[in-house]
Homo-oligomer: A and B are copies of this chain.
Amino acid sequence: MGHSRTTLADVAAAAGVSVSTASLAFSGSGPIADDTRARVLAAAAELGYSGPNPLGRSLRSGRSGIAGVVIGDQLRRSFRDPVSVQVLDGLVSTLGRQGLGVLLVASEAQVDDEDAIVPSPLLESAAMDAAVVIWGAHRDDPSLAVLQRRGVPVVVGEGPSSVDAPVVGIDDRGGSAALGRHLLDLGHRRVATVTLPFDRRRRCGPVDAARMEQLDWTPTRHRLAGLRDAGIDPVAVVEADASLVEAGQAAGRLALDVADPPTAVVAQSDLLAAGVLIAARDLGLRVPDDVSVAGFDGLDLPWLAPDVLTTVAQPLAAKGEAMGQMVLELLAGGTPASVTLDVELRPGTTTGPPRG
């Protein structure tokens, strides 16, 4: 309360011991007599001293106890997507158990004047022992570059394996292929697809050859490739500008409201699929009789009831936990290997045979 915060030195003085002994009393490492420790703790309580200042401790130990989580996007958008949230939850739990805090960093701060995107200053200057680029890192990602220049060890989620950091991914391609075969088996031949954004210049609309060239975002590319692996050549590819229901609705309308509509629409996320379902309903199409719809992620969407979305389920929390484990491994000096988690086709009621 008085002039300046009470420090370990004050406590030591009050307890009649040296600063180093007082430090021992708190850290617990090193030999110290029980009654000495008790005396120090009593003095601390007396003075209202609540443990060593983390700043001093950090400086000395060189560790901040903080892992940065870089959201490759604005927070608002990221957090509206349950996918990011569940991954984040697994990550925070794993790190929290080890006493590590999570510092939220939105990698991009939109500048008002220009349309320019500047990396958050936090990337440059915040203290972190390691960082997780949780979503959407790409080759030559500026945030990745900044972190690596700073010497911060990085774990990447869903990025290309070409980045110089361990990656936690899922079998996007295999899962999409399984879904593709599912549709082929049902008899679908005219399949459209609604994709996640292609790059950070998110667009909403049909994809032409030129746009296809610019496909930079790994999950988008892999899920598209998986469909082709199954032997499906989409009659239409529509890019959505975010993994949100509204975006799926808009894209779904574009895919369905055409002269010769597809018999099935594969959306690259469950939220997009939900939007496609709404678009189909708006157009008076019944699902799955008039059109089949499938998603990706395996979210729990109770408001879709009584429909159950056909989807490819990915282990979201496990993904976050895997990232957390990697961070711990990096901090322990190890060099974790990239991981690809398995996914599982989960057929629901929104896919069925095409109408005769």
Please report A residues at the B interface, Cβ cutoff 8 Å.
Answer: 5, 48, 50-51, 54-56, 58-59, 62, 64-66, 74-76, 79-80, 82, 85-86, 88-89, 92-93, 96-97, 99, 101-106, 109, 120-122, 124-127, 149-151, 245-246, 249, 274-275, 278, 282, 302-305
Contact = CB atoms under 8 A, between A and B. Distances in A.
A186 B88 CA distance: 44
A228 to B, nearest CB: 30
B99 A54 contact: no
Overall SS of chain A's interface: helix
A333 to B, nearest CB: 15
Given A56-B59, A76-B86, A80-B82, 11 more contacts: A50-B124, A58-B59, A75-B92, A96-B120, A97-B109, A101-B103, A101-B122, A103-B104, A245-B302, A275-B302, A303-B303
Nearest to A90: B76
A102 B101 contact: no
B54 A55 contact: no
A275 B304 CA distance: 11
Given A58-B55, A121-B99, A127-B58, A249 B89 contact: no
A109 to B, nearest CB: 6
B97 A55 contact: no
Contact of A278 (B88, B101, B106, B302): B302
Nearest to A82: B80
B125 A54 contact: yes
Given A122-B101, A245-B303, A55 B59 contact: yes
Contacts of A80: 82, 85
Contacts of A88: 75, 79
A109 B151 CA distance: 31
26 contacts: A5-B151, A50-B124, A50-B149, A50-B150, A54-B125, A54-B126, A55-B55, A64-B127, A65-B126, A74-B89, A75-B89, A75-B92, A75-B93, A79-B79, A79-B85, A80-B85, A92-B106, A96-B106, A96-B109, A96-B122, A97-B109, A99-B125, A245-B303, A278-B303, A303-B303, A303-B304
B55 A64 contact: yes
